[in-house]
Amino acid sequence: MKILVPVKRVVDYNVKVRVKSDQTGMETANVKMSANPFDEIAIEEAVRLREAGIATEVIAISCGVTACQETLRTALAIGADRAILVETDAELQPLAVAKILKAIADKEGPGLIIAGKQAIDDDSNQTGQMTAALLGWPQATFASKVTIADGKAQVTREVDGGLETLSINLPAVITTDLRLNEPRYATLPNIMKAKKKPFEIIKVADLGVDITPRLKTIKVSEPPKRTAGVMVPDVATLVAKLRSEAKVI
């Protein structure tokens, strides 16, 4: 069974991103970029399934600009077997990415797609579910445990109030939550090895999918600012202020 894992290049988790002064978007020039953290968890899970003999090949895929090659190299260094970059300079919204992933899945025939639940830039939380819908496959989102047996995946999901477990037929789409696993660090030998792994670049135009954006960004503005309040010296003062000033207790 092949596993396809989409990986998105995003602004690094630790960077505080600011709104551009002309309000056309966020200031992302010259900031550190990394693989989306949930996508690293997805790669790790796929690699573990291959190591356990359940999967035969892990294919990492990224959609976007040439620089996404770096992100795919990270996925290869974690342990993906080969990479596909669907290259475009155009803005890609989740529906467009899902259409690209469907086109690639139709070609590659994976038994499983494991995706991050959410990218930390647009915070959409859509691509996995949309891809499942377009392929007509079942989905298990926000996974914290995955077991594959007898042509099905049993997936424990993080839901409001606790956990639920589903059984879904393969092929299927699974999206990862935080606690599914802890991704390994890419070691230097594996980073070197990653450079020799197969790497395919496909032009988005060659896939024949409609990637036209459906959402037009009118502007991006600063969120309302919260200003620091006061420091209180002790518990008694805190309680007094909460009672008489804030009136919340």
Residues 19-38 that bind another protein (CB under 8 A): 19, 25-26, 38
Site for another protein in 36-75 (CB under 8 A): 38
132 touches another protein (CB under 8 A): yes
Query: Of 100, 87, 96, 59, which Cα lies nearest the Cα of 207?
Result: 100
Residue 112 or 194 having the CB closest to another protein: 112
**Smallest separation, CB 114 to another protein (Å):** 16
Rounded to a whole number of angstroms, the minimum distance from the CB of residue 249 to another protein is 7
Measured from the CB atom, the residue of 196 and 214 that comes closer to another protein is 214
Closest distance to another protein from the beta carbon of 242 (Å) = 7
Angle between helices 68-78 and 37-51 (to 10 degrees): 40
* Vertex 191: Cα angle to 201 and 30 (nearest 5): 70
Q: Which two tokens stand for residue 226?
A: 């919260």
What one-character DSSP code corresponds to residue 205?
G
With CB under 8 A as the contact rule, the residue among 67, 109, 178, 187 that binds another protein is 178
Q: Provide the minimum distance between the beta carbon of 143 and another protein in the complex, in angstroms, as a whole number.
A: 11
Residues 184-223 that bind another protein (CB under 8 A): 213-223
Between CA 248 and CA 18 the distance in angstroms is: 32
Among residues 159, 165, 3, 148, the alpha carbon closest in space to that of 75 is found at 3
* Residue from 137, 148, 174, 207 in contact with another protein (CB under 8 A): 137
Residue of 139, 148, 186, 202 that binds another protein (CB under 8 A) = 139
**Range 87-116, binding another protein (CB under 8 A):** 93-95, 98
With CB under 8 A as the rule, give the number of residues binding another protein: 81
Residue 158 in the binding site for another protein (CB under 8 A): yes
Only segment of 18-26, 69-77, 78-86, 198-206 that touches another protein (CB under 8 A): 18-26
Contact status, residue 48 vs residue 41, Cβ threshold 8 Å: no
Q: Spell out the SS3 assignment of 101-161.
A: HHHHHHHHCCCEEEEECCCCCCCCCCHHHHHHHHHCCCEEEEEEEEEEECCEEEEEEEECC
Q: How many CA atoms lie within 13 A of 24 on its CB side?
A: 2
